[in-house]
Structures are given as structure tokens and as C-alpha cells.
Amino acid sequence: MKTTRGDFPQEINLHLISYLEMLQRKGIKSIYLTPPGAVHEATAEQKQLSGDQERSVAKETMGGIVEKLSEVDAKVSVCEDCGLHRGRTNTVFGTGNPGTKVMFIGEGPGRDEDIQGKPFVGRSGQLLTKMLGAIDLSREDVYITNIVKCRPPDNRDPQEEEVRCCEKYLIAQIDLIRPRIICALGRVAAHWLLDTKDSLAALRNRENFYRGTQVLVTYHPAALLRNPGLKRGAWEDFKQLTAIISE
Ligand code: URA
């Protein structure tokens, strides 16, 4: 096989170049040279440290992420970049484990979330918690957030300007947490993340990426409450998620 620099077969280099060009066209100006999740793995230097030293370096790294996330949260809490701030009781930033491999993204806070300042705490949230339990995960094992951090009035879909204003916060969360996979909950989250209007069925059945991170699309828990017949499909999606995060 013909090889070039770095012993990559030439055809892989060509694929890589066209992939990078596609990212550039989408406005992505920088990419990580380490795979997602690598921040949570031991570095070469860490591997040479004693167990105690290693744990303290890992803790510091995680401590840094937690601190930066709270800085972003503080900015969100006073954000007035779009009209949604006028109707909010609380901003809803995100909760869970910043060292997780999986980040769940819904569309936006509802009434209960707006009151409590936490994502997915109403009926949909209770179902999400149960679904996580079915794959042996708790809410503390994962990270949960939304496309927009303030409640849209009457639970309407977030509008383009609102999503554009809020995207910087979601990007900051993803860049800090660097999950192995994002799970988009429902049509609205999937459409905004993947910049498409394709059907949920199509999106559930293909490999998707948001800024280089794999996105698994599944039903919104509210849709499962309205139509329990969809639960079988959601279960398939969750099994796929388990397989990916146990790789
Ligand atoms: N629905 C969402 O999309 N997000 C929440 O936080 C709650 C309900």
C-alpha cells in the first residue's frame, strides 16, 4: 500500500484533507488533536506519577473544568442577549457530571425547569431519569442541558435568533466537558445541532456529528409520554448509546 508522511495510506490522507475542508466550510476554525474524552484519560506525564499524585492531577483538571463551567453559568445567569430573558424566573444551565462520556441535550426549559433552575425536572425529566436507570446510569453519571437556557414562552420551540444567541454557551459546555457522545433529545435539539430539517427517523438511523462530536438522535421524553409506542425505538437508541460509551 502506498504511504505518505506519518505512514498514513495516501487515500486516508485524501479523505482527511476533504473532511478538514468540509469542517472549514462549516466555519470550524480549530480542532482538537486529542480525541474527545481524552482530557479525562491519564496523560503520559500522569502515568509516570505515583497513584496519589496522579489522582491529584486528575482532580485538578476536573476542578478546572468545574470552575470554568461555573464561570459560563454565571454569564448565562445575567444574559440578556435575546428576548427570552424577559420571561424567565431562572436560567437553566445544566447539571450532572462534567467528566461524563455522554451529554444529553434537550430543546429548552419548561415551566418546572424555569422554576427550579435545573434541566429535565418535570414529567419528561422523570421519564429521562427512568430511561437512564434502564441502562444503569443515574443523572449524576451524565450531563444534561438544553439548546436554550431560558424558557420559551408557552413552551414554544426556540427561534433562530434565540438559538444563535445561546449557542456560545452550549459550545462552551461541550468544549469543556468533551463528551464521547451527545444524545440529542427530540426533533428540535437534533435539527439545531445538525443544521438540518431531516426527519427524526432519518436522523436516528445515521451517524451524525456536531463540531466533531458524535450525536445520537433519539425521541424527546415528552414524545414518549404522548406516544408510548415509541418507547421500543427509544430503548434501541439507548442500547446503542450504552454500546458506544462502553467501547
Ligand atoms: N424539555 C426540554 O427539552 N428540556 C427540559 O429541560 C425540560 C423539558
- Which domain CATH number covers 175? 3.40.470.10
- CA-closest residue to ligand 1 atom 7: 120
pTM of the model: 0.80
Is 214 inside any structural domain? Answer: yes
**pLDDT tens, position by position, 31-55:** 544 444 444 444 455 456 677 776 6
**pLDDT tens, position by position, 180-219:** 999 999 999 999 999 999 999 999 999 999 999 999 999 9
Is 236 inside any structural domain? Answer: yes
What residues make up the domain containing 147?
Answer: 56-245
Is 89 inside any structural domain? Answer: yes
**pLDDT tens, position by position, 53-111:** 766 767 668 999 999 999 999 999 999 999 999 999 999 999 999 999 999 999 999 99
Any atom of ligand 1 within 6 Å of the Cβ of 221: no
Q: What is the pLDDT of residue 208?
A: 98
Number of domains in the chain: 1
Is 37 inside any structural domain? Answer: no
The single residue listed with the C-alpha cell 484533507 is 17
Output the CA 109–ligand 1 centroid distance in Å: 5
Is 221 inside any structural domain? Answer: yes
